[in-house]
Amino acid sequence: MADAPWAEIREKFQAALALSRVELHKNPEKEPYKSKYSARALLEEVKALLGPAPEDEDERPQADDSLGAGDHALGLPAELVEAEGPVAQGAVRRAVIEFHLGVNHIDTEELSAGEEHLVKCLRLLRKYRLSHDCVSLYIQAQNNLGILWSEREEIETAQAYLESSEALYNQYMKEIGSPPLDPTEHFLPEEEKLAEQERSKRFEKVYTHNLYYLAQVYQHMEMFERAAHYCHSTLKRQLEHNAYHPMEWAINAATLSQFYINKQCFMEARHCLSAANVIFGQTGKIRTTEDRQHRGA
């Protein structure tokens, strides 16, 4: 790819990300999604500049694309295939754009279109999903599909996507372990790539979100023991990574304490209430990383 077009692609992509982060209340009252639509237009321009995906023939729906049939849905172990060479890199960059288009459509309440883009992202990445370059993006796409299906009250479908994300994270950490690329890095020059520490922080945040969504799904399914376990894990990780909103964290900890009280686990309940009280005292005083950064998918 020539330097000039690639520079143009990078510039348009970064502009789209910036527009995507504009808070709704900063848009005109009668056009609350104005910045989202502008971001979408730029993403479509980037998609056109990238050209047809090399895997277009492989993108067509296959028999195993329905949830419950494909290995991505069942959470079976993935084989490591690195995203190397121009064909693979082209597919991965297209997948990044499809992901952001999916999130964009969901943000503007166009769920069917959002689902279509996210599923296309997964298809493009499927063979590379365990690789250092793609694992974070694949998990984020599945997390967003899990949220989407949860909002449709198709809880078992949401559960399948979210459990698949959890399984892929665990397999990656066991077999590879090094902090993977953040999806935005596919459109950054080499000298602007993230440091290992920042990559790790972002990847762990993606996994924390995965646990948070799983806790909600299990609660909805009345799997209360499992929901409490995942809620506890989420709260613990949020504290460790300083990525929480004090009010929300305190409410969730207090709610968890009620579960422990009902199970007559009074020491655990007291610990949750004490922690909730301490964190609630930070409200309005401490800015966490969750306040300073745009929330990941």
pLDDT in tens, 71-90: 444 466 788 888 888 889 99
Predicted local distance difference test score (pLDDT) of residue 173: 97
Of 70-84, 224-238, 276-290, the range with the highest mean pLDDT is 224-238
- What integer is the mean pLDDT of 254-276? 87
Does residue 119 carry a pLDDT above 80?
Answer: yes
Whether residue 60 has pLDDT greater than 80: no
Residue 66 has pLDDT above 90, yes or no: no
Most confident stretch, 2-11, 55-64, 72-81, 195-204: 195-204
The residue length of the chain stands at: 297
For 207-220, the pLDDT digits (tens) are 999 999 999 999 99
Burial 94-119 (b: 16+ CB within 10 A, else e): bbbbbbbbbbbbbbbebeeebbebbb
- Residue in the block written with tokens 């298809």: 123
Q: At what angle do helices 224-240 and 196-220 cross, to 10 degrees?
A: 160
**In the prediction, which pLDDT does 252 show?**
87
Q: Which residues of 194-232 are buried (b: 16+ CB within 10 A; e: fewer)?
A: beeeebebbbbbbbbbbbbbbbbbbbeeeeeeebbebbb
26 CB-near residues (< 8 Å, 6+ apart)? 35
**pLDDT, tens only, 3-46:** 458 899 999 999 999 999 888 778 888 888 999 999 999 999 99
- Specify the pLDDT at position 69: 36
Q: What is the mean pLDDT of the chain?
A: 87
pLDDT band at 54 (very low <50, low <70, confident <90, very high): low
Contact 36, 63 (CB under 8 A): no
> What residues contact 182, with CB distance under 8 A and at least 6 apart?
136, 194, 198, 199, 202, 203
Rounded Cα gap, residues 69 and 72, in angstroms: 8
What pLDDT does residue 281 have?
A: 87
Is 200 a residue whose pLDDT tops 70?
yes
Q: Out of 253-257, 268-272, 282-286, pick the least confident.
A: 282-286
Question: Does residue 295 surpass a pLDDT of 50?
Answer: no
Q: Report residue 251 as tokens.
A: 């409410």
